[in-house]
Each structure stands twice: as C-alpha cells, then as structure tokens.
Chains A and B, each alone.
Chain A
Amino acid sequence: KAGVTQTPRYLIKTRGQQVTLSCSPISGHRSVSWYQQTPGQGLQFLFEYFSETQRNKGNFPGRFSGRQFSNSRSEMNVSTLELGDSALYLCASSLGLMETQYFGPGTRLLVL
C-alpha cells in the first residue's frame, strides 16, 4: 500500500507570496493532519481534517488555511509568506480521528 505523499518536496518562495502544499493520504484513510516542524519549536500541529471538515486547529494565524477534498486529499495554503514560515511541513493520515497517524516525507519550504 502506498504511503502518504506530499508535493512538492521542496519549495522556495519570497516574502509576501502565497503557497499551496498538497497531501495524498494512504488509501482508505479519511483523516489528514498538518504539522509544521522547525528547529526551535519542534513539531507543531496546524489543523486536522476528517470527511472534508476541519475538526481541530492549532495556534497559527489565519494566513494558514487548509481544505480536504472528497477523495481525502488535502491542501494547505499559506498566504503573505513571512521569513518565519520557513519550515518542514508534514502531513499525516489516519483511518479516523482516534487512529495512529502515518506521516508523509514533508515539504521543505524556504522563504527568502
């Protein structure tokens, strides 16, 4: 069974731009969560989607948004990029809300 895939793997943007990251969960998984990993803060939860509905949200500004499609694929959008948004963005999928999460390889975003 294919694992969680994320595209693109690497991305370079400049301040003020916006970016969209994509995540395809493991087949049959209906829950997708997004995390930001930085050296100083470790892994921080962004949001979680289940059946196209946002179920949980972390403490990030409104510039960070996401959505989930009917096929469980998810996208994450960051608008008006700031230097501090440079990070590894990880997507994780699970069968349901209370199931173990399986992570993708991440998208490394560099904001210049």
Chain B
Amino acid sequence: DQQVKQNSPSLSVQEGRISILNCDYTNSMFDYFLWYKKYPAEGPTFLISISSIKDKNEDGRFTVFLNKSAKHLSLHIVPSQPGDSAVYFCAASAQGGSEKLVFGKGTKLTVNP
C-alpha cells in the first residue's frame, strides 16, 4: 500500500519553461511534506517543504503547492535549468514531521538545453 505516489516516473521539459512535478498521498494524517532532489551517486538533497497549515511555499525558483482536499501536492520549477535534471522525491510525514518520512518512488526530470 503506497501512501505517497508519484505517478510520473519521468518528465522532460525545455530549458526556461516550467517544470511541474506531482505527488498524491492517501494518508489523511500526513501534515508535513517535503521535496528532495537526487543526483546520481549522491544522497537526496532537501529542496523545500510545506506544512498543512499553508497551501503554498516559495523559495526562489521552487514553489510547492498543497491541495489538502485533493491530497495532492506539486512542485513548480520556474524557469527550469539543465542543472535541475535529477530525480525528485516527494515525502510526507505525520505529527508535524515527527513521524517517519514516507517517500514516493521519484520522478526523473530532464531539462533539455
């Protein structure tokens, strides 16, 4: 039973355009969400997070949107750059982040020059 789902295994976008990575969750107890980026041969790197009391969090080119009623969150990267090419993991936790993180399987983003 996968509680955090990233239904697109891969995504390809053109440099300068918007990248939208999606994530759905089933556990209504989740109230803290994170995105991680992973390059080959490296561990995941924390990108951005959002708690359930907000519906949007922005950090530079990265914005995360949370739709609690739909149990859906998305990561927007604007403008996309070739260096953004990586695997992006969505993760969720309950109890404000004190519970263990549950990860999606990841989406491989390729930004073409």
Identify the A interface with B (CB < 8 A). 4, 33, 35, 41-45, 48, 56, 58, 90-92, 97-106
Task: Evaluate contact between A100 and B49: CB separation under 8 angstroms.
Answer: yes
User: Would B100 and A103 count as touching, CB distance under 8 A?
Assistant: no
Q: CB of B70 within 8 A of chain A? A: no
Instruction: Please name all residues of chain B whose beta carbon is closer than 8 Å to the beta carbon of A4 when the two chains form the complex.
Output: 43
Residues A45 and B45 in contact, CB atoms below 8 Å apart: no
Range class of the B interface residue count: 20 to 34
Report the nearest A residue to B42, measured CB to CB: A105
B30 at the interface (CB under 8 A from A): no
Indicate if the CB atoms of A103 and B98 lie closer than 8 Å.
Answer: no
A-B contact pairs, 28 of them (CB 8 A): A33-B101, A35-B103, A42-B103, A42-B104, A42-B105, A43-B44, A43-B91, A43-B103, A43-B106, A44-B103, A45-B103, A48-B100, A56-B99, A58-B100, A90-B43, A90-B44, A91-B43, A97-B98, A100-B34, A100-B46, A100-B49, A101-B46, A101-B101, A102-B46, A103-B36, A103-B43, A103-B45, A106-B43
**Cβ contact of A45, chosen from B41, B42, B102, cutoff 8 A:** B102
Which of A42, A48, A58, A104 is in CB contact (< 8 Å) with B43?
A104
7 more CB-based (< 8 A) A-B contacts, given A4-B43, A56-B99, A98-B96: A43-B91, A45-B100, A45-B102, A56-B100, A101-B46, A101-B101, A103-B43
